[in-house]
Each structure stands twice: as structure tokens, then as C-alpha cells.
């Protein structure tokens, strides 16, 4: 019996465990073509050191730097290992990179020189070239014939652009096809000698088979010419691997046997001679790699002497060393030298210095780590973590990220808040506080080795601190007593603030002094007004970590009736969140998605999962073509696509429509009809301009969701722009909005992205570029037309921005809004230049602050460091980016100009739809139906 191949019944998907390492966020050195450090990227700071490593990279790639060495020298936590990892990523997998900590040399059964020799030879690669016969083509069809006595056999039809052939397959080949998950439309390569099958990608001819494909899916052209070809294959192995294979009886299996032991020098000499012979015959090429020696100051004189000799060999790799030592003794000797390295070896090294990070760079590093560890953190929590990093250590602050997230999860929150970081700071000590604890309780520990002189010195320090506290307390008393007399120019609250600021900025006080001082000040503050107490609470909660429990105590003891949460930093600044927190409700909902295989529908599904929307059941509806297929999800398992049925969809609590406007017009109102109808959030333009149907951006007009069960999602361009416009309207009042939008090809759907990618490839090959989706060819071009032209000369897309902005912001129908929409050759994320005229005079710094604190907005505005919004950095982000904020030259003090970028599939569509559902869940508009 012949049938299409099916493999799903006997396989089990296993999700791999992805661990986040200390440097897993490093993907390169972050340099442009001129070897200048890029301001945005996963490698932060150290621009000079990165540029120096960029030059090293170029020389390694050009083969000019083999057998030389670089020393990365700098204080702890200044990115030395990160630079080495960046170099490794830039070199790629073809170039060997060996990471060895110097302390490992002394912790193995091998001799020190043997351990270093093996490391050196692991860093030397050999590219061996072989020729083999392969079959390469596009899979047309796979047929399986099942026989009761002979098992399974089958036929495989392969084609190129010139020919097509059918091959008979045995059970082993069928099993290999199943293992590689090969299906019709895949381009594969079969090694005739070994039978090994490799999937090269999907054929471009099948790129439109699905509405949406994974971002990892690779499309390749159908092979040309004959199916059977002779192909040159290159294998890269290290000299050490060849050493092991030839020094053990089990051959290459010795590579899996663990510790290989010492290898005789005679074997290495024979291998070197053989590799030299292969080089002369053109069968092999030597590839000098990189040996990274961390903690190089831990080596001794014998190891340094070995490295001196090894660097002179023609078989030597490029060596990168790292140290955080200054002037120190060379291990095993009484000689002092720079970095603990002998002078004769230092002479061979190119030394690259790393500098301590600035506060801004620390903040950026912590933000990158939060993204890598998939942790969402409020700006106030991030600011506190940055302060901890600057006052303690960067590594310590990075350790607090994950534990703070666990603490937030324990409180049923998806976003880490300031109180989570504060608690973890109190639970886990940094080095300074741990040392102080040891000094205070030294006599209670076993084996206390603090000398009598050191104990006396500690006691003297305590006496000096006590005297200092007495003097400071006297000054505090004098200052507070004068507060009642200061009725001119300064209120009592202002005087208190000055008093607090004077004491809190005194860098010579210890944390214990701060606590005692705060208690003294509180005793005076309690005599004054409620506003004075409020001032004390606000400043006390923000000026020192140790003040928080004291401020809480003051709140409970105070006779003033206030809402205590309004005085804590986490509440005061919590308006600024990357996104809203998901609804903290006990109930969960049956959620339906219509069009989940399209670009927007797929993002809606992902947002529901990532934001932990309370879903009891996920139902996906589709057309007859997709019904019966399955959609894989991380949280809800495998979901079978149902054929859309109006009655079945009404069983859901909320339905997201990610389909055409015609479909929405036909079904949306019927779905919400009656008391048993469901909530519908429509992503099309079908209902945006109907007066009685809310058009909602939750951060602006979320209250509108209480009026109707049918909610319209705005145009993506409008939603992105209003996220930045609305806070400024609230602050200054707007008179005019002028907008120019630069929209990515994905605004036209998957077909638009395909046309750009395929057209770009044809343009680069010199072929004619065709256009079906856009008015003109888009590659290397811009098109000042999106949607059809209207009678007033504007396009419909441009008028959408005007109509929707007025409706969402409750502006008059004649409010001046002008937009120009341009299609540009980028894949994802729209960009907008916005100019506003205001009713009140503007202040640029105030505008920056307000935007930075606004929910869903990320301020990226430091032109001196080349930091501004870009589609490249906005893609995949929930927040929009806003920058280039400046006073308008046209409107003067009554105008602002700025640049905005946002992911239109998220902020402009899917994320906004999910936020609407969360808003409705929080305000009670979305209710879970009783289950039968």
C-alpha cells in the first residue's frame, strides 16, 4: 500500500535545556566596518579595548598574527573575558578557540608543560580536503510501501531545475529521512559513500505554502544541473585530536574516553611531519586558532618559560591572556613584576587595558542581562540594581537578577519590582558587607587570625565613627530646630530635604551611621506637619538601602493618615513599566484565535504565553485548508486547528481576530451578540471608524473597553506613534501633529517580506526584480505610497493615522494631523519622524523624563554615544523606542521633534490586542463563562 510519509505517531518532542551562562549574551565584538564600537549591542562599553581586539581579529583572519600574544589587563568586572568571548564569536566555528584557566594547569594529573602543550595543540586546526560523490536536489515526493514480511521500502523522487529521478529506498534510508524530518519541498544532500542525509533548507518554490514560517526556516534555491555531483568536503580537526587518535589503540573512540593522559613527543613529531606533507600536497591547510589563558598570573616560572618557547614555534596559535593583577609577585618566587608576569614574556605581549564601567554602561549591561535571562524589571528596580553594581560589584548585581525574578514569581508577579531587589539585597551579602560582618563578629568565628594590632585599629575606627556620629547628630539638631524659623523662601519641607541631602551625600559615613542618624532626624520630624513626615519618608526610602525598614516603622507610628504606598519608590515610579503586568486574577479564560498561522496571529499566541495571560484552554480556528493541522505551543501543548464555526467560537470567553476585514464584518458582531456572546478583539480595519465601537490603546483610553464587547485594534503606525505623543499631550497640550512614517515590508504581510527578500537576491545577482505586492520594486528603493490614493492627495494609510489619532485621544474632528507614509526596504519595525506644536512652552529635559517614565516607552536618546531608535533594535521588543528629542526650529518654544521606532507586529498589533484583553480582565469587562 502506498501513502504519504508520516512520522508524527512514533516521535516524542523533547525541549532542550537552554542554560544561560555568564557570557551567553555575547555574539561578537560589536564593531562596524571601521572597527568603531557600536553603542547598541550585547557587548557594552570598553570602546578602545574593543577596537584593539578588532584589529587583532583582522590580523588573525588574514593570517598575520600567528604565534603572538595579547594581554587583557584591567580591574575585576571590566569585561576581559567578555572581549575574549566576543573574539571567539567573530572568528566562528571554523577557527579553533580554546579557553583554559591558568589554575587548571595545576589541577590535573598531567605535568604542567603537558597540559599547556595539549591546550596549544587543541588551538591549532587542520583543514583536510576530500572529494566525494553526492546526490543533491529538491524532494518532490516520498512514498512508503509496507510489507508484512520485509518491513518497509519506498521511493524518493528528487529533482533539479534540469532533471528529475526516482530512487528506491530501504528501511535504513527511510529511517534517516524520518530522523532528519525531510518532507516534500526540502532541498537535501545524500552522501553516496556513507548514505548520510543532510537537509539544506526549504526550496524557494515552496516559500508561500504557509501563511507564516519560523524565523529559523532557511530558504535555498533548487539545485541546478545533474543530481549526482562530485563535491569537495572540508573537515576541520585539531592537532590534539589527531594526537589522541594515533596514540591510543581504540583510535578515534579515544576522544570520548575522558582524560587522554600524556602523549609521547615522538608521536607528535610524526604527526607534524605528516601534516606538513599534506600541506605540500594541497590536501590540508593549517588553521592557527586562539588559546585564551584566563588568570594568567596563576602560572609559575616553568609555565612562563614554556610559553616563551611555544610562541616561537611555527605551530603556535594566537594567545590571549587575561589578568586583574597589578604589581604582584610571580608565583613561586619573591620577584615582583607587573601583572605577576616575567618581564621577558611581557616584552612579547601587546597589552590592552580595560577600564571600570560608567554608571550608564552598568545600567546597559544589566539591561542586556535581564533580556538574556528573560527577566522583566521596572525602571526603578533597574536603577536600584545599577546603584548596587556601582557601589559593590557588577557580578554581584548580576547574581541578584535571577533571585529577584524568583522572588517576584513567589508574589505572583511577572515583572521584578524595586521591593524584590531590596529584599534580595538584604538576603545575600556582597563582599564589603560580609567583610564588615566578619570584623564585627570576628571573635565568634573559629580560627580567627586577626592580629591584636588590627583589632586595636578596628576599635579606633569605631571610636572615630562614634565621635563623628555625635558631631553629626548635634548638627542635625541645630538644623531641624531652625526649620520653624525659616518662613522666607523655603518651607519646612524644603529645609528638611536640604538637611537629609547634606547627611545622605556624606560619603565618609558608614551604613550604621546612616541608620542612627535617620532615627535622630525622625525624632525631630515627628514634631512637624504631615507634609514634613511625607518628605522624610520619600527621601528616606530613596537615599539609602538601610532607611527602608526605618521609614516603614515611621509610617506605622505616625499619627498622620496617609497611603503608605505613595511614599515608596516602587509605587511612586511604577508608572514606567516595559509593559503592563498581566491581570492578577484567580479566574482563567477560554481563549480563541482566528488566523493563528498568520504573522499577527502567531505573535498573539506568543504574547499570551510570554505574558502569562490566564488561559484555561486555547482554541485555534482556521480555514478548511489548515483545519486538522496542529500548532505547537510552549504552555498549552499541541493545539489542533479547528474549522471555524460561529457557534464553537462563541463558546470562548475572548476571541482574537487576526484575519481580513471582510471576515470580521461577516462574523464579529454575531460572535458578541447576546448575553452568552464572547468578547472579540479585531485586528482588521473593519470597525475602527464606527462611532459606537471603541478603538483602544490601553495605556491611553483603556476605560473605553467597558463600553462594548467588540474592540477594534488600531492601525500599527497609529499605535506606535501615539505611545510617544500621548504623554506629551498630557504634559503640554497639542495643537498640531505632523508625522512621516517609514514602514517595513512586513506591514504588507508575509508576501511583502518574501517579495523584498527574493527581489533583493535577484537584484544582487543582476536579474530583473518583479513587483506584485508593492507599487514598484522595493529592494534598494523607497516608495512614497502605502494603500490607495484618495481625492485629497493623501493615501488611505496616511488618513488612517489622522482619523484614528483623533478617535483614540478624544481630539476634535478638525484637529490638525498630517501624515506622509513611505515604504522602505526593511523587514520589520516601523519608524516615524514626529513634529508636534504645543499649547504650553516645552522643556526638552522634562519631555525626556516624562517619556522615560511612560509605560511602553523606552528612551534611547544619547546622540553623543550614537544611541537613538532604530528598526534593528526595536524589532522583537514590547516597548517602542523614542529618541532624537529636540526643540522644533519651526515652532520654537512651542514645539518638539523626535524619532520613534516600534515593532508593528507587537506594539502595533499583537501586543496591543493582548493588553486590551488584560485591561478588560482587570476592569471586569471580560468574564469567564460557567463551564458545563
* pLDDT on residue 710: 93
- For residues 822 and 774, the answer to whether their CB atoms sit within 8 Å is no
Residue 690 cell numbers, joined: 464606527
* pLDDT on residue 148: 52
> Domains in the chain, ordered, with CATH?
31-95+289-353 (3.40.50.300), 129-235 (2.40.50.360), 359-438 (1.10.8.60), 590-712 (3.40.50.720), 716-744+782-904 (3.30.360.10)
For residues 45 and 59, what is the distance between their CA atoms, to the nearest angstrom?
Answer: 23
For residues 91 and 85, what is the distance between their CA atoms, to the nearest angstrom?
Answer: 10
Q: Residue 115 half-sphere exposure, CB side, CA atoms within 13 Å?
A: 18
State the residue for C-alpha cell 539544506.
Answer: 200
* pLDDT on residue 413: 87
Q: If you average pLDDT over each of 205-219, 402-416, 475-489, which comes out highest?
A: 402-416
What residues form DSSP beta bridges with 881? Answer: 858, 901
User: Average of pLDDT values for 719-725?
Assistant: 93
Lowest mean pLDDT among 242-246, 885-889, 904-908: 242-246
* pLDDT on residue 824: 93
Lowest mean pLDDT among 174-178, 557-561, 600-604: 557-561
**Per-residue pLDDT at 474 exceeds 80:** no
User: Average of pLDDT values for 343-365?
Assistant: 84
* pLDDT on residue 21: 59
**Per-residue pLDDT at 265 exceeds 70:** yes
3-state secondary structure of 667: helix
Lowest mean pLDDT among 64-73, 697-706, 714-723: 64-73
**Per-residue pLDDT at 213 exceeds 80:** no
**Per-residue pLDDT at 901 exceeds 70:** yes
Q: What band does 806 get if pLDDT is binned at 50, 70 and 90?
A: very high
**Per-residue pLDDT at 834 exceeds 90:** yes
* 429 φ/ψ sector (left φ>0, alpha ψ -120 to 50, else beta): beta
* Rg of the chain on CA atoms, in Å: 33
**Per-residue pLDDT at 246 exceeds 80:** no
* pLDDT on residue 560: 31
* pLDDT on residue 656: 94
Tens digit of each residue's pLDDT (9 = 90 or more) over 273-289: 888 888 787 777 777 77
B/e letters for 425-440, b = 16+ CB within 10 Å, e = fewer, are beeeebeeeeeeeeee
* pLDDT on residue 718: 93
Average pLDDT, the chain: 77
3-state secondary structure of 498: helix
Residue 401 cell numbers, joined: 537578577
Lowest mean pLDDT among 155-169, 450-464, 912-926: 450-464
Cα–Cα nearest to 237, from 193, 289, 195, 192: 289
* pLDDT on residue 454: 55
| pTM for this entry | 0.43
For residues 47 and 50, what is the distance between their CA atoms, to the nearest angstrom?
Answer: 5
For residues 519 and 776, what is the distance between their CA atoms, to the nearest angstrom?
Answer: 72
Distance of CA 309 to the CA centre of its chain: 43
User: Average of pLDDT values for 544-573?
Assistant: 34
Q: What band does 592 get if pLDDT is binned at 50, 70 and 90?
A: very high
What residues form DSSP beta bridges with 288? Answer: 124
**Per-residue pLDDT at 449 exceeds 70:** no
Alpha helices in 734-870 (DSSP H): 750-765, 796-808, 844-853
User: Higher confidence at residue 145 or residue 840?
Assistant: 840
User: Higher confidence at residue 300 or residue 90?
Assistant: 300
Q: What band does 861 get if pLDDT is binned at 50, 70 and 90?
A: very high
What residues form DSSP beta bridges with 98? Answer: 291
Report the 10 Å Cβ neighbour count for 715. 22
User: Average of pLDDT values for 666-694?
Assistant: 90
DSSP-derived letter for residue 357 is P
Straight-line distance from the first to the last Cα atom of the chain, in angstroms, rounded to the nearest whole number:
44
Q: What band does 652 get if pLDDT is binned at 50, 70 and 90?
A: very high
Distance of CA 161 to the CA centre of its chain: 41
* pLDDT on residue 281: 78
Tens digit of each residue's pLDDT (9 = 90 or more) over 130-148: 777 888 899 988 888 765 5
DSSP-derived letter for residue 917 is H
**Per-residue pLDDT at 392 exceeds 50:** yes
- For residues 914 and 607, the answer to whether their CB atoms sit within 8 Å is yes
3-state secondary structure of 465: helix
Quick one: CA dihedral 207, 636, 601, 719, positive or negative? negative
- For residues 594 and 649, the answer to whether their CB atoms sit within 8 Å is yes
- For residues 547 and 888, the answer to whether their CB atoms sit within 8 Å is no
* pLDDT on residue 353: 87
Amino acid at each position: 500500500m502506498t501513502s504519504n510519509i508520516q512520522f508524527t505517531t512514533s516521535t516524542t518532542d523533547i525541549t532542550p535545556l537552554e542554560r544561560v551562562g555568564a557570557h551567553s549574551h555575547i555574539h561578537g565584538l560589536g564593531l562596524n566596518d571601521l572597527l568603531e564600537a557600536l553603542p547598541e549591542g550585547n557587548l557594552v562599553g570598553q570602546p578602545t579595548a574593543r577596537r584593539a581586539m578588532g584589529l587583532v581579529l583582522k590580523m588573525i583572519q588574514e593570517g598575520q598574527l600567528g604565534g603572538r600574544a595579547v594581554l587583557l589587563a584591567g580591574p575585576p568586572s571590566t569585561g576581559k573575558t567578555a572581549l575574549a568571548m566576543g573574539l571567539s564569536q567573530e572568528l566562528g566555528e571554523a577557527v579553533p578557540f580554546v579557553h583554559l584557566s591558568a589554575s587548571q594547569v595545576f589541577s590535573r594529573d598531567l605535568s604542567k608543560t603537558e597540559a599547556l602543550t595539549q591546550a596549544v595543540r587543541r588551538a591549532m586546526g587542520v583543514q583536510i580536503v576530500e572529494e566525494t560523490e553526492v546526490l543533491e536536489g529538491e524532494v518532490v515526493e516520498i512514498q512508503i510501501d509496507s510489507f508484512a514480511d520485509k518491513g518497509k521500502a519506498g521511493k524518493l523522487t528528487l529533482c533539479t531545475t534540469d532533471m528529475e529521478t526516482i530512487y528506491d529506498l530501504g528501511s535504513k534510508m527511510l529511517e534517516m529521512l524520518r530522523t532528519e524530518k525531510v518532507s516534500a519541498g526540502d532541498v537535501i544532500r545524500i552522501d553516496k559513500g556513507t548514505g548520510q542525509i543532510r537537509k539544506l533548507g526549504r526550496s524557494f518554490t515552496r516559500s508561500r505554502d504557509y501563511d507564516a514560517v519560523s524565523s529559523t526556516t532557511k530558504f535555498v534555491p533548487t539545485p541546478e544541473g545533474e543530481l549526482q555531483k562530485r563535491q569537495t568536503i572540508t573537515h576541520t580537526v585539531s592537532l590534539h585530536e589527531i594526537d589522541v587518535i594515533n596514540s591510543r589503540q581504540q583510535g578515534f573512540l579515544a576522544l570520548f574516553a575522558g582524560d587522554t593522559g600524556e602523549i609521547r613527543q615522538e608521536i607528535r613529531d610524526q604527526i607534524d611531519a605528516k601534516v606538513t606533507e599534506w600541506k605540500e600536497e594541497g590536501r590540508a591547510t593549517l588553521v592557527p586558532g586562539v588559546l585564551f589563558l584566563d588568570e594568567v598570573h596563576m602560572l609559575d616560572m616553568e609555565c612562563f618559560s614554556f610559553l616563551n618557547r611555544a610562541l616561537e614555534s611555527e605551530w603556535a596559535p594566537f594567545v590571549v591572556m587575561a589578568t586583574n593583577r597589578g604589581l604582584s609577585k610571580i608565583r613561586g618566587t619573591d620577584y615582583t613584576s607587573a601583572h605577576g608576569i616575567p618581564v621577558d614574556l611581557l616584552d612579547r605581549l601587546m597589552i590592552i587595558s580595560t577600564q571600570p564601567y560608567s554608571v550608564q554602561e552598568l545600567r546597559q549591561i544589566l539591561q542586556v542581562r535581564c533580556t538574556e535571562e528573560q527577566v522583566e524589571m521596572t525602571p526603578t528596580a533597574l536603577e536600584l540594581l545599577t546603584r548596587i553594581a556601582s557601589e559593590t560589584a557588577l557580578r554581584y548585581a548580576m547574581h541578584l537578577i535571577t533571585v529577584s525574578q524568583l522572588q517576584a514569581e513567589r508574589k505572583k508577579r511577572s515583572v521584578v519590582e524595586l521591593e524584590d531587589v531590596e529584599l534580595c539585597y538584604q538576603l545575600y551579602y556582597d563582599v564589603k558587607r560580609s567583610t564588615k560582618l566578619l570584623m564585627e563578629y570576628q571573635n565568634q568565628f573559629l580560627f580567627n587570625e586577626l592580629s591584636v594590632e588590627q583589632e586595636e585599629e578596628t576599635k579606633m575606627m569605631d571610636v572615630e565613627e562614634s565621635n563623628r556620629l555625635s558631631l553629626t547628630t548635634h548638627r542635625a539638631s541645630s538644623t531641624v530646630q531652625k526649620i520653624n524659623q525659616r518662613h522666607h523662601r523655603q518651607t519646612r519641607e524644603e529645609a528638611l530635604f536640604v538637611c537629609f541631602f547634606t547627611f545622605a551625600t556624606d560619603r565618609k559615613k558608614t551604613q550604621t551611621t546612616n541608620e542612627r542618624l535617620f532615627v535622630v532626624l525622625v525624632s525631630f520630624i515627628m514634631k512637624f506637619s504631615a507634609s514634613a513626615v511625607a518628605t522624610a519618608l520619600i527621601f528616606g526610602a530613596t537615599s539609602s538601602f538601610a532607611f527602608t525598614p526605618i521609614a516603614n516603622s515611621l509610617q506605622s507610628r505616625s499619627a498622620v493618615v496617609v497611603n503608605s504606598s505613595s511614599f515608596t519608590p516602587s509605587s511612586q515610579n511604577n508608572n514606567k513599566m516595559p509593559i503592563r503586568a498581566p491581570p492578577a486574577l484567580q479566574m482563567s479564560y477560554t481563549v480563541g484565535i482566528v488566523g493563528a498561522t498568520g504573522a499577527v496571529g502567531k505573535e498573539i499566541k506568543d504574547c499570551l504565553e510570554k505574558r502569562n495571560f490566564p488561559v484555561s484552554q486555547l482554541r485555534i480556528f482556521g480555514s478548511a485548508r489548515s483545519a486538522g493541522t496542529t500548532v505547537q505551543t510552549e504552555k498549552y501543548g499541541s493545539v489542533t486547528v479547528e474549522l471555524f464555526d460561529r457557534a464553537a467560537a462563541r463558546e470562548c470567553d475572548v476571541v482574537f481576530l487576526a484575519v481580513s476585514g471582510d471576515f470580521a464584518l461577516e462574523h464579529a458582531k454575531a460572535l458578541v451578540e447576546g448575553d452568552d456572546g464572547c468578547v472579540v478583539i479585531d485586528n482588521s480595519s473593519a470597525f475602527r471608524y464606527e462611532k459606537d465601537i471603541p478603538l483602544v490603546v490601553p495605556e491611553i483610553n483603556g476605560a473605553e473597553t467597558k463600553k462594548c464587547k467588540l474592540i477594534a485594534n488600531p492601525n500599527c503606525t497609529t499605535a506606535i506613534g501615539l505611545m510617544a505623543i500621548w504623554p506629551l499631550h498630557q504634559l503640554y497640550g497639542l495643537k498640531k501633529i505632523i508625522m512621516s512614517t517609514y514602514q517595513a515590508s512586513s506591514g504588507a504581510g508575509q508576501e511583502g517580506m518574501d517579495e523584498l527578500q527574493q527581489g533583493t537576491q535577484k537584484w544582487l545577482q543582476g536579474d530583473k526584480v518583479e513587483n506584485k505586492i508593492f507599487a514598484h520594486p522595493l529592494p534598494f528603493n523607497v516608495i512614497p505610497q502605502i494603500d490607495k490614493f484618495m481625492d485629497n492627495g493623501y493615501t488611505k494609510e496616511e488618513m488612517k493615522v489622522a482619523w484614528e489619532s483623533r478617535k483614540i485621544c478624544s481630539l476634535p474632528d478638525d484637529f490638525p494631523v498630517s501624515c506622509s507614509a513611505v515604504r522602505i526596504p526593511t523587514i520589520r519595525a516601523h519608524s516615524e519622524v514626529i513634529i508636534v506644536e504645543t499649547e504650553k512652552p516645552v522643556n526638552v529635559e522634562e519631555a525626556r523624563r516624562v517619556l522615560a517614565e511612560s509605560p511602553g516607552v523606552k528612551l534611547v536618546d544619547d546622540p553623543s554615544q550614537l544611541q537613538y531608535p532604530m528598526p534593528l533594535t526595536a524589532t522583537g521588543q514590547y516597548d517602542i523606542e523614542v529618541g532624537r528629542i529636540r526643540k522644533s526650529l519651526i515652532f520654537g518654544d512651542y514645539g518638539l521633534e523626535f524619532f520613534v521606532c516600534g515593532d508593528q507586529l507587537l506594539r502595533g498589533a499583537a501586543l496591543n490586542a493582548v493588553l486590551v484583553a488584560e485591561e478588560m480582565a482587570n476592569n471586569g469587562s471580560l468574564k469567564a463563562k460557567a463551564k458545563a
